[in-house]
Amino acid sequence: MRIHVEGRQALNGNWRPSGNPNAGLALLAASLLGEQPVVLHNMPRTASTLQQIELASWLGADIQFDQRSTLRVETRQLSRRTLGQDVLDHAGAILMIAPLLLRCRHIRLEIETPRSRLLTHLDALRDLGQDVLFLHGAVEIRAVTWRKREILLGSASVTATGIVLMLAATLGQETIIHNAASEPHVQELCRLLEAMGARVNGQGSNLLQVTGCSNPVGAETNIGPNHIEVASIAAIAALCGGRVTLRESRERDLRMVARVFDQFGIHLELEADTVFVPRHKQLTVRDRAGDVDLRVESAIWPGFPSDLIAIATVIASQARGTTLIHEKLFPNRLLFVDRLKAMGAQIVLCDPHRAIVVGPAPLYGSYMATPDIRAGLGMLAAALVADGHSTIDNAQAIEHHFGAVIGNLKELGAKIMVE
């Protein structure tokens, strides 16, 4: 997939964000916990959610997905108990461990080695008392119920938290989870589990107390807006000099983002369910932080999201001042800055986690390849801000996670052609 962009077009109009795809992945997995139907409204149509729907159907779920983005899931029984390596490589597939373990009681993960990204999940399962057996090329897990258990997650992993939550809501009677992830999509999973019969105290915090239920009931819920999409489009609108209103957003999910953007000179007007982006002219960093004017650091929720580091780097390239961008959570997410430098940005990559950006610097259209999902919208933002024509190759990464974002940008006035 290749995208052609003509930059420096003001964006104006209204935007309705799609549903949070990470919430969609987790809520779909939770829908398989019981036999009764679960209805999910505002399910986003992204490559990752469509893969999860296909996986759920392959496992035995009866699924109906209509044109209004409503997904109905009914799972009388699960017909498979093995997840192969090819399946586990898909985003969100690891979450299926929970319904499989509950419904089948004995499952098998076919993996060459317990990859590091799975260790937190497997450790959590053992801490819950599940029988985890490492074999050559596979891991076998047997379900064990419990009356009361307290565990500490090795890291605040969203998917590990999701698996533990689903099992605590169904296999356990009382469970306390320390160091739980608290992102908006984790909170949405908590609300669905409550609708299915469990009780979850501490939602939105890193300490969760779960009272389980033995027979999950049917439920219906609405998937909330994609806060990463909302923040990204707000930034792009401000950089392009237009006025955009993002409706059906969620103010409480954007507070830290709004604070960081404000330090760049991007002023968002937040209401309960609406974000208004007024027209901006020259952006100027306003808070000096030692040797640089501003430090932007990724952090676990409710800190500044790692998924917005690419967007923040593009903003920094256009704001007057010197900004230190520090990606604290993941390696190699700043390697895309070479593409920004090729467009004219003044950036020094200190190491794989830190970059110093001096702005403002005019950007010029260029050819670039999207390195990953997280950098995809950042590259698109740079192309929309740049003077001239840009080509983004391998742009399926953008569609993979943000679905209809390109079509919606065109409706706001962006000149984008897809081939």
What single string gives the DSSP state of each residue in 45-103?
--HHHHHHHHHHHHHT-EEEE-TTS-EEEE-S-----EE-HHHHTSTTGGGGHHHHHHH
Please report the pLDDT score of residue 203 as a whole number: 98
In the structure, what pLDDT confidence band is assigned to residue 116 with cuts at 50, 70 and 90? low
Mean pLDDT of all residues in 168-195: 98
Mean local confidence (pLDDT), 320-335? 93
Average pLDDT over residues 5-30: 96
Whether 297 has a pLDDT exceeding 60, the answer reads: yes
Residue 263, pLDDT > 60, answer: yes
Residue 129: per-residue pLDDT: 95
CB atoms within 10 A of CB 316: 30
Q: What's the pLDDT band for 115 if we cut at 50, 70, 90?
A: low
Q: Do domains 3-18+225-418 and 21-222 have the same CATH topology?
A: yes
Mean pLDDT (whole number) for 190-209: 98
How high is the pLDDT of residue 381? 95
Question: Is the per-residue pLDDT at 369 higher than 80?
Answer: yes
Fold of 21-222: UDP-n-acetylglucosamine1-carboxyvinyl-transferase; Chain (3.65.10)
Alpha-carbon distance of 419 to 401, in angstroms, equals 18
Q: Is the pLDDT of residue 288 over 70?
A: no
From 334, 322, 311, 333, select the one nearest 383 (Cα to Cα): 311
Q: How confident is the model at residue 135 (pLDDT cuts 50, 70, 90)?
A: confident
Mean pLDDT of the chain: 94
CA–CA separation, 113 and 108 (whole Å): 13
Least confident window among 61-75, 189-203, 251-265, 285-299:
285-299
Q: Could you read off the pLDDT of 34-60 as tens digits, one per residue?
A: 999 999 999 999 989 999 999 999 999
Question: pLDDT-based confidence at 280, cuts 50/70/90?
Answer: very high
Q: What percent of the chain has pLDDT over 70?
A: 96
Q: Would you list the domain boundaries of the chain?
A: 3-18+225-418, 21-222
CATH number for the segment(s) 3-18+225-418: 3.65.10.10
**Residue 396 clears pLDDT 70, i.e. is over it:** yes
- Residues in Cβ contact with 311 at an 8 Å cutoff, skipping those fewer than 6 apart: 231, 232, 235, 236, 377, 378, 381
> 227 pLDDT exceeds 70?
yes
pLDDT at residue 201, rounded to an integer:
99
Q: Answer for the pair 250, 273: CB distance below 8 angstroms, yes or no.
A: yes
pLDDT value for 221 = 98
| pLDDT surpassing 90 at residue 194 | yes
Which two tokens mark 222? 């609405």
What's the pLDDT score for residue 137? 85
- Confidence bin at 22 (pLDDT 50/70/90): very high
Which pLDDT value is given to residue 286?
Answer: 77
Answer yes or no: are the C-beta atoms of 283 and 259 closer than 8 Å: no
